[in-house]
Structure 1
Amino acid sequence: MDKQEFIAAHPEYGYNGTIDELYKNEFSNHYPSDRIYLDHAGTTLYTQSQLDAHFNQLRTLTLNNPHSEQEDSKSLLLIQECIELILSIFDTSSRYYSIIFTLNTTHACQLLSSLFPFSLKSEYAYMIDSHNSLIGIRQQVKLKGGSFSIIDYPSKIYNQENNSDKDWSFRCACRSSSCLSSDIESNVPYYCLFATPAENNFNGLRPPLDKLLGPFINARENQIENFPIPIHRYPSKECHWLTLVDCAKYLSTKSFSLSLYPVDFVVLSFYKIFGYPTGLGALIIRNESLKILNKENYFGGGSVEYISPYDDSRVEYKSGINAFIHGTIPFTTILSIYDGFQLIINKLSYKHISLHTQCLIDYCRNEMLKLTYSNGQILCLFYDVRNNFIYENGYSYGPILNFNLYNIHGQFLSCRLIQRIAADHNIILRVGTFCAPGASQAYLGKIVKIYLTL
């Protein structure tokens, strides 16, 4: 099939026929035409217009330190515009959410782990396909004497056979041993945290967020009987659950609505969305949740109104999000985000990015499934389940293909060998487990114990 036949058969491809012009204007200067880039889950490619707009801004504006707090500070005004633009992408505003800029998603998770009020009674529950950065939060829970649970999907997520089994319940994969100890009676409110990727890094699985996040969000105001997520400590008058969503991969091809899913925390990296800048991520926090965070852990430049080097009995923190922002933010770097999102808003749109990438993935997967050796041995094994039962129950996949390749004898080829062969042909792809050990173990059939001993 030549390109014109492909386009005719896949009208969703190519951003309404502008893809060749986009490539010429945005990538031809810094990206060779004979190279095939397939590592957009690692980072997407930045565009020429982003660089031009940002460096033109640096050439033509005088940007002062935001802490100087001048009334006509251009830096402050532009940063606030950028913050509002970011929140608008999430279908919300600064009235409901605030942003702490971080180095990346991992740094945002680390920061949240130090701010969250984990205690002896706290439980941290996370989905089995979470990134290492989400799993790492459990270290803080353990240090505070709390417990953790790993939530798994229905078994049919891993089953290639089409079956009509109606049990689509989430399962508990395992719990820490502290979950099994006797509960401590207390009338004092305590806080627990549930975390999930909106789309995992392993194979792009997107869970039904209404079923996964909805119960926790509804439990803020209502007592829910028969809670559908198999956590150990259920929401109650004393037990308050907050929610964290890892949007790092999801946002590369789809927008996330905080109006539809008003979770407490979102973490992301901007290079995953538009390639530039690196070294900049965000922790987005629901304003109502700011009051429970531990701002007393530290104070630094810009986060306090008054302190004395001699008297530690009085510390006056700034109000709202400012109490958690220590030191000068990377203000010139932050301003480049504006140009990245303008590219999506004005030239591409999340709708067309999603349609374009999904049609490529579907076509590629279908063609790869046809590949066989002369003896009939198939070449590709995909680690996903794509059938009507999956879609009917609210699951979907982002534009990731995760697969292994067989040799003619039905044995797996080394992923490092595949990477070297691809590199020899100017193909850039990613191999390994993609920092998602739970997903790789689940799909590869790794057996884990029901309970962990810490």
Structure 2
Amino acid sequence: MVGIEDTYPEYALTAQLDELRATEYSYLDEQSHVYLDFTGSGLASKSQHQSHNERVANTLYGNPHSVNPTSGVATEAIEKTRARILAHVNASPDEYVVIFTANATAAARLVAESYPFTAKTKLVLTADNHNSINGIREFAKAKGTKTTYVPLTTPDLGVDEAALRAVLSSPKKRSQIRDRLPKIKSWLSSLLTPCLGQRRKRLQPASTDEPSHHLPEARSPSPASSTTTLKPTRNIDLEKTIITTYSPPLDHQVPPASSRKAGLFAYPAQSNFSGVRHPLSYIPLAQKQGYHVLLDTAAYLPTSPLDLSPTSPYKPDFCIISFYKLFGTPTGVGALVARRDSLTTLLALNRPWFSGGTITAVTVSTPWHNPTHSPQSIHEAFEDGTLNFLSIPDISVGLDFLTQKITLPILDIRIKCLTAWFLDRLTSLSHSNGAPMAVIYGPTNTLQAAQVVSSRGGTITFNLVTPTGQIIDERIIDMDSARHGISLRTGCFCNPGAGEAAFALAPQKIRKLVSTATTTGNTVSGVGGEKRLGMDDYIRLVGMQSGGAVRVSFGAASNTADVDRFFDFVEGTYRDWDAADRTKKLKPRGRW
């Protein structure tokens, strides 16, 4: 078998992580366990646990909502941690603020419940989003705001950039382009030279040295639509092509938060379903169209740097962070990293309730309260109740371990190499009849994954299939892998949009599911009376072979032995395997 360094020699640069595996993460090998669910949760090192135990055992902390000595100790630790988080993402404390929440989901909800949605604003979401982001649409709906989803391209599961630009473009901008359509059409027609005998002609965007037409800047080609292919005998809707292909001019600065009225755009920097990394360039693209941007960094930040410095071109209004996904502990603490101007002008006056810690004064006999509005402590208006002051200091310890012991550049190399090597081996798996053993959802360009890296992170989602192409039920793989001491993830990973695209679920099938669920009240008649619709019923209604997929993801403690163990398990268990007998004996599914 070809070793990883034979194909990806840069893997040798990451030897220091093998030393950490033997010391800080030795419990994995001591328990003979293979951990392949780093997108679900990071793993904490031994020194992180030791640091927490020593600190709590030797430091006296008190509720930070006071001025006594123990309160002062807790407050100081919390504020140092805020500063450490901002430093990790290169953010200036004059521009960004850290708001502690219970988790990343709570951070998303904080924006959702406070955002000033109206009937005139839009909520734009990519189809690839975690349910914590999808749930924002319920707050938007309650205030009369329409939600628009931007579809994904297949098979790579990237965002359809042409559709994104069309959705974000304001009616005013589109009308400006339509006003110039005659000149643009004339210019395009001049490019379509007589093509008798030619099979195809490609339509190229405007050259920047065509001053007489003043054409808007053309969008960068995407893998799914890098060119528009024209046939001589085919009728072309030039107007639709122009409106879709050309974006509004992007030569002006991002307007301040207070002047952006279009609505909210939310998307993940990295998909928790497929590992696809969506371009950070979508941030200024949306902001220049008048949107505020919520960036989900939960799957991205554990292995990649984020630059929010004053000179960075990518400055989202809101970022949500999950710390246990970065380095395993603490759980129960997340954060919203937000621009101060966005908080001040958008959210502070729109919170639907108040609680302890978020107000300066409140009365009972006459209902009135005054929220905390100090510019320097604007975070206090959003931190409900008492913070997790015993665990928050662990974040600084984790960040120091990530940046000083692991180091992000080394981790980046290891993740890319392991991901590429895993994909190489997964795509080469076959049954005795030559049929492939796996179908992969998302990018499979392993050379790019290892050397260029911008297209995907260390998350691979796939299904194993029988020699006849039948998908092996993910519940079987879940149970079998557990018996072999392997932790992985199965299902749809709280990301229904990516699942719908990956499994090619037609919209009419989704509508049938929704119609059945709503008209029946999620119940059906059966033997013994009424029965609530379960997950298996939903899967049957949309015509899926299985209830999702298998997800493998890598982190700092991952090594080649983990990959070898996984493939020994897969080949030894499922090569030339017949799924029929075991599928009949499976218990009903619970949550998706």
User: Common fold, TM-score beyond 0.5?
Assistant: yes
Structure 1 position 274 matched with structure 2 position 327: yes
Structure 2 SS opposite 1:126: strand
Instruction: Kindly indicate whether the alpha-carbon contact (under 8 Å) linking 2:155 and 2:502 is maintained by their aligned counterparts in 1.
Output: no
Structure 2 SS opposite 1:13: helix
Residue of structure 2 aligned with 1:309, choices 360, 364, 367: 364
Residue of structure 1 aligned with 2:423, choices 365, 377, 381: 365
Q: How does 1:66-145 map to 2 (within 5 A)?
A: 66-70=64-68, 73-145=72-144
Equivalent residue number for residue 199 of structure 2: none
Write 1 or 2 for the structure with the bigger share of helix.
2
Can you list the C-alpha shifts for 1:54-90, whole angstroms capped at 9, x where unaligned?
A: 1111111112221113589222222111111111111
Instruction: Kindly indicate whether the alpha-carbon contact (under 8 Å) linking 1:198 and 1:207 is maintained by their aligned counterparts in 2.
Output: yes
Q: TM-score, normalised by structure 1?
A: 0.83
The one-letter code sitting in structure 1 at the alignment partner of 2:342 is S
Taking the aligned partners of 2:25 and 2:448, their CA distance within structure 1 comes to 37
Taking the aligned partners of 2:427 and 2:111, their CA distance within structure 1 comes to 42
1:304 Cα deviation (Å)?
Answer: 1.9
Taking the aligned partners of 1:195 and 1:333, their CA distance within structure 2 comes to 29
Higher-Rg member (1/2): 2
Q: Which moved more, 1:359-368 or 1:101-110?
A: 101-110
The one-letter code sitting in structure 2 at the alignment partner of 1:133 is S
Residue of structure 1 aligned with 2:277, choices 195, 202, 206: 206
Equivalent residue number for residue 63 of structure 1: 61
Q: Which moved more, 1:364-373 or 1:301-310?
A: 301-310
Structure 1 SS opposite 2:391: helix
**RMSD over aligned Cα, in angstroms?**
3.2
Can you list the C-alpha shifts for 1:247-304, whole angstroms capped at 9, x where unaligned?
A: 1111121122223311101112111110111111111111010121135522222222
Residue of structure 2 aligned with 1:250, choices 300, 322, 334: 300
- Indicate how the Cα distance of structure 1 residues 96 and 312 shifts in structure 2: closer, same or farther if over 3 A, else same: same
Q: How does 1:418-437 map to 2 (within 5 A)?
A: 418-437=477-496
1:166 Cα deviation (Å)?
Answer: 2.0
- Indicate how the Cα distance of structure 1 residues 126 and 395 shifts in structure 2: closer, same or farther if over 3 A, else same: farther
The one-letter code sitting in structure 1 at the alignment partner of 2:379 is I
Instruction: Kindly indicate whether the alpha-carbon contact (under 8 Å) linking 1:207 and 1:394 is maintained by their aligned counterparts in 2.
Output: no
Equivalent residue number for residue 36 of structure 2: 38
Equivalent residue number for residue 399 of structure 1: 458
- Indicate how the Cα distance of structure 1 residues 9 and 189 shifts in structure 2: closer, same or farther if over 3 A, else same: closer
1:27 Cα deviation (Å)?
Answer: 2.0
Taking the aligned partners of 1:249 and 1:412, their CA distance within structure 2 comes to 27
Structure 2 SS opposite 1:289: helix
Instruction: Kindly indicate whether the alpha-carbon contact (under 8 Å) linking 2:423 and 2:444 is maintained by their aligned counterparts in 1.
Output: no
1:14 Cα deviation (Å)?
Answer: 6.5
- Indicate how the Cα distance of structure 1 residues 167 and 194 shifts in structure 2: closer, same or farther if over 3 A, else same: farther
1:441 Cα deviation (Å)?
Answer: 0.7
Structure 2 SS opposite 1:83: helix
- Indicate how the Cα distance of structure 1 residues 316 and 102 shifts in structure 2: closer, same or farther if over 3 A, else same: closer
Identity of aligned residues (%): 31
- Indicate how the Cα distance of structure 1 residues 395 and 360 shifts in structure 2: closer, same or farther if over 3 A, else same: closer
Taking the aligned partners of 2:458 and 2:293, their CA distance within structure 1 comes to 25
Equivalent residue number for residue 443 of structure 1: 502
Structure 1 SS opposite 2:11: coil
1:377 Cα deviation (Å)?
Answer: 0.8
1:131 Cα deviation (Å)?
Answer: 0.7
Question: What are the ranges of 5 or more consecutive residues in structure 1 without an aligned counterpart?
Answer: 173-187, 220-234
- Indicate how the Cα distance of structure 1 residues 96 and 14 shifts in structure 2: closer, same or farther if over 3 A, else same: farther
Instruction: Kindly indicate whether the alpha-carbon contact (under 8 Å) linking 2:416 and 2:453 is maintained by their aligned counterparts in 1.
Output: no
Equivalent residue number for residue 166 of structure 1: 227
Taking the aligned partners of 1:252 and 1:438, their CA distance within structure 2 comes to 23
Taking the aligned partners of 1:153 and 1:395, their CA distance within structure 2 comes to 18
1:38 Cα deviation (Å)?
Answer: 0.6
Structure 1 position 18 matched with structure 2 position 26: no
The one-letter code sitting in structure 1 at the alignment partner of 2:476 is L
1:164 Cα deviation (Å)?
Answer: 7.7
- Indicate how the Cα distance of structure 1 residues 114 and 209 shifts in structure 2: closer, same or farther if over 3 A, else same: same
Equivalent residue number for residue 177 of structure 1: none
Q: Which moved more, 1:48-57 or 1:311-320?
A: 311-320
Structure 2 SS opposite 1:288: helix
- Indicate how the Cα distance of structure 1 residues 425 and 416 shifts in structure 2: closer, same or farther if over 3 A, else same: same
The one-letter code sitting in structure 1 at the alignment partner of 2:51 is A
Instruction: Kindly indicate whether the alpha-carbon contact (under 8 Å) linking 1:265 and 1:285 is maintained by their aligned counterparts in 2.
Output: yes
Can you list the C-alpha shifts for 1:120-152, whole angstroms capped at 9, x where unaligned?
A: 222100001111111110001111111010012
- Indicate how the Cα distance of structure 1 residues 364 and 374 shifts in structure 2: closer, same or farther if over 3 A, else same: same
Taking the aligned partners of 1:257 and 1:166, their CA distance within structure 2 comes to 32
- Indicate how the Cα distance of structure 1 residues 316 and 213 shifts in structure 2: closer, same or farther if over 3 A, else same: closer
- Indicate how the Cα distance of structure 1 residues 316 and 245 shifts in structure 2: closer, same or farther if over 3 A, else same: closer
Equivalent residue number for residue 324 of structure 1: 382
1:443 Cα deviation (Å)?
Answer: 1.5
Q: How does 1:147-226 map to 2 (within 5 A)?
A: 147-154=146-153, 157=156, 165-166=226-227, 190=261, 192-210=263-281, 212-217=282-287, 219=288
Taking the aligned partners of 1:124 and 1:337, their CA distance within structure 2 comes to 32
- Indicate how the Cα distance of structure 1 residues 347 and 390 shifts in structure 2: closer, same or farther if over 3 A, else same: closer
Instruction: Kindly indicate whether the alpha-carbon contact (under 8 Å) linking 1:404 and 1:415 is maintained by their aligned counterparts in 2.
Output: yes
Q: Which moved more, 1:385-394 or 1:283-292?
A: 385-394
Taking the aligned partners of 1:445 and 1:196, their CA distance within structure 2 comes to 21
Taking the aligned partners of 1:128 and 1:106, their CA distance within structure 2 comes to 18
Q: Which moved more, 1:113-122 or 1:71-80?
A: 71-80
Taking the aligned partners of 2:339 and 2:224, their CA distance within structure 1 comes to 40
Instruction: Kindly indicate whether the alpha-carbon contact (under 8 Å) linking 1:373 and 1:408 is maintained by their aligned counterparts in 2.
Output: yes
Equivalent residue number for residue 413 of structure 2: 355
Instruction: Kindly indicate whether the alpha-carbon contact (under 8 Å) linking 1:119 and 1:190 is maintained by their aligned counterparts in 2.
Output: no
Structure 1 position 298 matched with structure 2 position 353: yes
Structure 1 position 344 matched with structure 2 position 402: yes
Structure 1 SS opposite 2:38: coil
Q: Which moved more, 1:335-344 or 1:393-402?
A: 393-402
Can you list the C-alpha shifts for 1:152-203, whole angstroms capped at 9, x where unaligned?
A: 24457359xx88842699x99xxxxxxxxxxxxxxx9845100000001111
Can you list the C-alpha shifts for 1:331-387, whole angstroms capped at 9, x where unaligned?
A: 111111111111111111111111111101111110121111111111111112344
Taking the aligned partners of 2:128 and 2:423, their CA distance within structure 1 comes to 22
Q: Which moved more, 1:20-29 or 1:376-385?
A: 20-29
Instruction: Kindly indicate whether the alpha-carbon contact (under 8 Å) linking 1:15 and 1:348 is maintained by their aligned counterparts in 2.
Output: no
Taking the aligned partners of 1:92 and 1:152, their CA distance within structure 2 comes to 31
